[in-house]
Structure 1
C-alpha cells in the first residue's frame, strides 16, 4: 500500500530502491546541499542520511532559495524558483539571470543545482520559471503548450519576471536569459521578441520546429506533445510562427550558443542556423560545438567547461558583483 511520507528538510527525492522488509534507500537533496544517500528504515518516522560527500559546502556562504508564485495573463497560477546570492540586500540592485528548464515536460524545484548556486555566488539573482508545459501544475497547464508554445510561454515567463521585480532587489538594466534544450527554445524566443536582455545563452536549443519534427529521435512524441505534422493541412505557417528562428533577424542580444556535435535529440544544424542568423545581422555571438555525442556534455572536462562559459558570458556582459 502506497502512502505519503514527510521528507523534512529534503526538497527532492529520486533513485528509490525498496527492500523486502519495507525499508528503502534514495537520493535526497536539500536547498543548500546536493544529493546524498538516505535510508528510510522500515517503520521509522524519518530518513537517515548515510553519506556526507558535500560537507565542504557548509564552510561556504550559502545562497537562499525560495519559491515564487504568480498569475499569468492567461489566468494560470504558476510558480518558479528564486535563488538569492549570499548576503542578499533587497535595498541594492542585483543582476538577474533566468535559468529556464528544458523538457518541456519537467519543472524546476527548490532542490540544489550546482549551476544555479555558481551563478548566485557571483552576486546574481537566479530565476527558474515554470512555464506552460511544465509538469508540476496539473494537466490543463501542461497541455496548454500544445496550441501556444511560443507566445504563451513568453507571457508566462515575462509575467514571472514582473512578479519577481516587484519583490525588490533586481537591477532591471542587467537581466540575462539562458536555458538548455527546450530551455534554449524559450531563450531564443525571448531574445527574438524583447530587447532588454543584457546577454543570452542558448544550449542545444530547438530553433526550427520543422527540424524537430523531422530529425529528432523523439519526433513521434513531439508531433503529439506540441502539434501534428507540418505537412498535413495548413500547418506549415503555424510551424514557422512558433519557431524562434523565424524571429532571429530581430535579435540584438549578445548570445552564446553551446551544442554537442552528435546530439540525437536536437540536431546541431539548429544551432548553426541560429549562429548564422545572428552573425549575418551583426549580433555579438559565440558558438561552441563539443565534439561528442549526446544531448549535453556529461564528462567532467566538458561539463566543467559549460559551467565556466555560462559564468564567463554573463560576467563579461554585466559584470561580476561578488561581495
Structure 2
C-alpha cells in the first residue's frame, strides 16, 4: 500500500491509515536469545492482534516453530531463556479480576519444550490448606547451566493450615528452592522468610545476595531495604548497603564481578550514580569502576553461560557501553563499521562456548535487526528484522537538541522532523513528554515519534527535570512533587519550537503516555493557551485518588511518600483543575491497566464534561497499560491523527 498519495501540483499527502498500520503493528521479533549451542534463537512475535508467541528459529535453515502461544493482551511473556538447547523457561505475566472485582497481576514460570511438545508449570500449587494467594510465582535466579535438569528459583511460600494434620507446612515467606524443570520436584535451599523481598545468586549455583524489608504494625512495608551479601565460600551474611524505597538514586546491587570475590554496586558520587566494585572477604574499600560527569551509570551489561559482566551502560543521548572486556569492545566497533549505515551494535548474548554471539544493530531511526556472529569463521548472519513493515518508509530524521527553561537551565531533548523537511519552518508540532516520571528519552527508534513525523509533525521529546538518568538534582523530588518544575520545562520546549520558527503557534499540540499523559494534561492547566490539542494515553489525573488506591497495597506507605503531602496534590491534579484546560482533549485508556487504573481517565473525562470542555474518552476493553494490541494501537494512531487534524486546522 502506498504511504504517500501524490497529486501535482500540491505536496504529497500522507496516507494516515497506511502509516498507522505500519507503525501501530507490533514487532515481528523481540526479546531474542541465542541457544547454548548457538544454532537456534528464541524470540517473541505478535500472534494475531493481541497475543504473543514464543518462537524458536533455526539459524542455519531459517525454519521456525512455535514453542508457546499466549492469545491475550493481558497474558504476556515477560522473559524466556534457554535451560538447554531443547528446553526453555518462560516467565508469564497475567492480569485478572478477583471475585470482589479487584484487578490483580500474577506471574508464573513454565518449563517449555523447544519443539512445542508441551509445557510444565514450575513452583508450588495452591491446595485446600493454602491461606492467601501467591501472586509472584516462582522465578529463576540461577540457570545452573551445568545441571541439565535443575534451576534455582525464588519461591514465595504462602501460609497453610496445619491443624488436624501431621503434614508439616513449609516456613512461609520468600524461599529459594532447587527445582527440577522436568517434573517440578523441589528441595529447599533457603527457607521462607517474610522479610526478604529478593534473592540473587552469583551465577554459579550459590545464593549470595538478599534484600530485606520490615513491616509496620498495619502490615505496610517500611521505607527502607537492607541489602546483604555472602563472601565467596561463606554462609554468613554481611550488610552491603541500605536504601529508601520511595526515593530515587540510592545504592543498587548490580550483581557480582566475574571472579565472584566482589559485589558490583551503583552508589552516588557527585550527585550521580557511579559503579563501584566492593571486595567482600578482604574488607578492602570499594573501588570506583565508572563515573560519568553528566549522567548516571545505568546497569551492568551481562552475557554468556554464567552471565558474566562485560560493560556498564549509560546514556548521554544514545545508549553507550563502557566495556570491561576490551576484545568485545573492538568487536562491536568492527561490526558497526562493517554494516550498512554503520548502526550502533550491541552484543546481547553468546553461546555457552563463546563461539557464537547474538548481535543487535539499530540506528537512530532504524528499528533494528538481529544477527549472529561466528567468532571463529568471522561470519555475520542476519537473523530477523524487528519491524519489517516500516522498512520501505523513508525515515524521519532525529537529532539531539538543548533548549532553555524559564530559569535558564538547558534542557536536553530529541527533535524528530518530517522526512525532507529538516529546514522547514512553521510546521505543526507535538511536544511528547515521556512516561515514568523516573525515566528518560534517548536517540533511537520510537514508533510514536516516527508516526507523527511521517504524518507531517515536528516532534519534540524533552528530558525535563524530574527525568531519571541525570543525577539526583535533575530528578528533584520526582515529577509529581516537583510538577511545576517538570511541567514548566515541558512548556519551555514548546516555546523553544516557536522561538526557533520550527512550529506554528496555531498548530501546537501535546501528546503523552502514562506520566507523559499526566504531563500533557497538566501542561495545558499551567498554560491554557499554548496548545491547541491535548492527547493523553493512560494518564494519571488525580494524585489524591492515586494515594487513596494504595491503601490496599502492602507498599502503600512507599507509594504515599512518593506522591507526598501538601498543596501540590490538589494543584498538581489535572482532574481537579479541569476548568483551566483550554484545548480539545482526547484520552485513551485500557480497562485492565494495573499501573494507572482506568478510573483516572474516567475521572478526568467527568471533570472535563462538568467544566464544559471539548473532550473524548476511548476505553479499550481487556487491555493493560501498554495497550499491547496492534488493532488498538492502529486505532489510537488513526484517531489521534484525526483529532489533531480537526483541532489544528
TM exceeding 0.5: yes
SS at match of 2:402: strand
CA distance in 2, matches of 1:87, 1:54: 22
Give the equivalent residue in structure 2 for 1:259.
589
Offset at 1:285?
0.6
Contact 1:145 1:152 in 2 (8 A): no
Q: Quick check: 1:78–1:137 contact (8 Å CA) kept in 2?
A: no
Question: Per-residue deviation at 1:56?
Answer: 6.1
Q: Distance in 1 between matches of 2:353 and 2:577?
A: 58
Q: What SS class does the counterpart of residue 192 from structure 1 fall into?
A: helix
- Residue 364 (structure 2) pairs with residue 31 (structure 1): yes
Q: Distance in 2 between matches of 1:64 and 1:83?
A: 6
Would the alpha carbon gap of residues 191 and 41 (structure 1) be closer, same or farther in structure 2, given more than 3 Å must change? farther
**What's the TM-score once normalised by structure 1's chain length?**
0.84
Counterparts in 2 of 1:1-323, with a 5 A limit?
2-3=310-311, 4=323, 5=329, 8=336, 9-10=342-343, 16-22=348-354, 24-39=357-372, 50-52=383-385, 54=387, 57-74=390-407, 76-88=409-421, 90-145=423-478, 148-194=481-527, 195-215=529-549, 219=556, 221-224=558-561, 226-228=562-564, 235-319=565-649
Aligned in 2, Cα 1:92/1:73: closer, same or farther, shift over 3 Å?
A: closer
Residue 72 (structure 1) shift:
2.8
Tell me the distance in 1 between the aligned counterparts of 2:592 and 2:435.
19
45-54 or 125-134: bigger deviation = 45-54
Q: Partners of 2:510 and 2:379 in 1: how far apart?
A: 39
* d(CA) in 2 for partners of 1:44, 1:140: 49
Structure of higher CA gyration radius? 2
Cα 1:89/1:102, change in 2 over 3 Å? closer
**Structure 1: how far apart are the matches of 2:586 and 2:483?**
21
> 1:251: Cα distance to partner?
0.9
Structure 2 stretches lacking a partner, 5+ long? 1-308, 312-322, 324-328, 337-341
Aligned residues of 1:215 and 1:267 also touching (Cα < 8 A): no
| Deviations, residues 252-280 of structure 1 (Å, cap 9, x unaligned) | 21010111112111111111111111112
- Bigger RCO of structures 1 and 2 (CA < 8 A, at least 6 apart): 1
How far apart in 2 are the matches of 1:238 and 1:204? 21
Distance 1:156 1:259, change over 3 A: same
Tell me how far 1:45 sits from its aligned partner: 11
Q: Per the alignment, do residues 12 and 109 of structure 1 end up closer, same or farther by CA in structure 2, a change over 3 Å counting?
A: farther
Matched-pair contact (CA < 8 Å) for 1:245–1:274: yes
Change (3 A) 1:208 1:54: closer
Other structure's SS at 1:223 match: helix
Question: How far off its partner does 1:311 sit?
Answer: 1.9
Residue by residue over 1:126-168, the C-alpha shift from the partner in whole angstroms, topping out at 9 and shown as x without a partner, is 1111112222322321234268432111221122233333433
Return the offset for 1:39.
4.2
8 Å CA contact 1:212–1:219 kept in 2: the answer is no
Q: Secondary structure at the match of 1:95?
A: strand
TM-score by length of 2: 0.44
Do 1:76 and 1:141's aligned partners in 2 also have CA atoms closer than 8 Å?
Answer: no
Sort the Cα spacing of 1:165 and 1:45 in 2 relative to 1 into closer, same or farther, 3 A: farther
Alignment partners' CA distance in 1, 2:584 and 2:538: 17
CA distance in structure 2 between the aligned counterparts of 1:82 and 1:46, rounded to whole angstroms: 37
Are residues 262 and 55 of structure 1, via their aligned partners in 2, closer, same or farther at CA, if it must alter by over 3 Å? closer
Superposed displacement of residue 109, structure 1: 1.4
- Structure 1 unpaired stretches of 5+: 229-234
In the alignment, the residues of structure 1 paired with residue 411 and residue 405 of structure 2 have an alpha-carbon distance, to the nearest angstrom, of: 7
Would the alpha carbon gap of residues 240 and 40 (structure 1) be closer, same or farther in structure 2, given more than 3 Å must change? farther
Contact 2:481–2:568 at 8 Å: present in 1 too? no
* SS across alignment from 1:249: helix
Which shifted more, 152-161 or 71-80? 71-80
CA RMSD of the aligned region, Å?
A: 3.0
Could you say which residue in structure 1 is the equivalent of 2:80? none
Distance 1:109 1:175 in 2: 22
C-alpha distance in 2 between matches for 1:236 and 1:213? 13
The residue number in structure 1 matching 2:125 is: none
Structure 1 SS opposite 2:570:
helix
